[in-house]
């Protein structure tokens, strides 16, 4: 009997968890957070802000969410002069509104940081075009690496990314038969990690290539 009751309670909790993870929509019913990861990030951000403002999470409105990669543990919300662990941190930048005031909350897993400066301009959360391009190149590199080594892309993690100015269009790793033009090319050097091994990719924000080349496994 007790076992039956326990199983029923677990089933109810699971059902509530699924309900909590349903896609978040705006006032027009259009999905704003469309993946379980985004939905979880919004929930973490709402709980963090609600705790600080002493409000019910339901009274906090999501305005925008965007995937983001930060270069340290402060997730871009460190105070001037403060020190933070230098580590690549992947997560989400979440714009929330409580009443007429907007807030910016950065989330990575279960960790959330409320950035200073409420009254956030909605457009300030939009990332520069080159940063959005970097996200795309990181994902392309992840997919390319997954195909070459037969791995699940979800198991491949960003190790580091840094701006790079290449000397020519070959990005320091010209392909066989490629016609290379000598001129400065802005881009990034991207490092991905899988099972303890780091793979390097070069990018000009329109193309991404492994350097050195990776043999298909």
pLDDT single digits (tens) 140-155:
999 999 999 999 888 8
pLDDT single digits (tens) 114-128:
886 443 344 444 444
In tens digits, the chain (217 residues) has pLDDT values of 544 433 443 334 333 333 333 445 544 555 455 578 888 989 999 999 888 888 888 888 888 888 888 776 777 776 655 555 666 778 888 888 887 788 889 998 898 888 864 433 444 444 444 455 788 888 899 999 999 999 988 889 888 888 889 999 999 999 999 999 999 998 899 999 998 899 999 999 889 999 999 876 5
Give the pLDDT of residue 128: 44
Taking the C-alpha atoms of residue 199 and residue 191, their distance in angstroms, rounded to an integer, is: 6
Give the pLDDT of residue 166: 93
Give the pLDDT of residue 124: 42
The pTM of the full predicted model, rounded to 2 decimals, is: 0.44
CA-based nearest residue to 115, from 86, 91, 87, 88: 91
Taking the C-alpha atoms of residue 63 and residue 176, their distance in angstroms, rounded to an integer, is: 47
E strand or H helix at 32: strand 31-33
Q: Are the C-beta atoms of residues 94 and 106 closer than 8 Å to each other?
A: yes
Q: How far is CA 208 from the centre of its chain?
A: 19
What is the layout of strands, in order, in the sheet containing 111-114?
Answer: 61-70, 89-98, 101-108, 111-114
| Token representation of residue 86 | 């230098």
Q: How far is CA 112 from the centre of its chain?
A: 13
Q: Is 29 exposed, middle or buried (0-12, 13-18, 19+ CB in 10 A)?
A: exposed
138 backbone φψ class: left, alpha, beta (φ>0; ψ -120 to 50) = alpha
Give the pLDDT of residue 102: 85
């Amino acid at each position: 009997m007790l076992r039956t009751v326990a199983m029923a309670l677990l089933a109810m909790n699971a059902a509530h968890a699924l309900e909590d993870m349903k896609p978040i929509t705006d006032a027009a019913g259009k999905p704003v957070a469309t993946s379980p990861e985004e939905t979880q990030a919004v929930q973490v951000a709402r709980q963090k802000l609600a705790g600080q403002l002493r409000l019910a999470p339901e009274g906090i409105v999501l305005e925008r969410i965007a995937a983001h990669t930060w270069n340290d543990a402060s997730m871009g919300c460190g105070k001037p002069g403060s020190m933070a662990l230098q580590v690549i941190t992947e997560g989400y930048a979440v714009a929330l509104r409580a009443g007429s005031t907007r807030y910016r909350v950065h989330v990575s897993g279960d960790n959330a940081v409320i950035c200073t400066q409420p009254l956030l301009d909605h457009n300030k959360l939009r990332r520069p075009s080159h940063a959005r391009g970097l996200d795309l190149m990181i994902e392309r590199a992840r997919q390319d690496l997954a195909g070459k080594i037969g791995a699940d892309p979800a198991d491949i993690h960003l190790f580091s990314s840094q701006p790079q100015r290449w000397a020519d269009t070959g990005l320091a790793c010209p392909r066989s038969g490629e016609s290379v033009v000598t001129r400065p090319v802005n881009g990034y050097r991207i490092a991905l990690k899988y099972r303890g091994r780091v793979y390097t990719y070069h990018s000009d924000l329109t193309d991404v290539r492994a350097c050195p080349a990776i043999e298909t496994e």
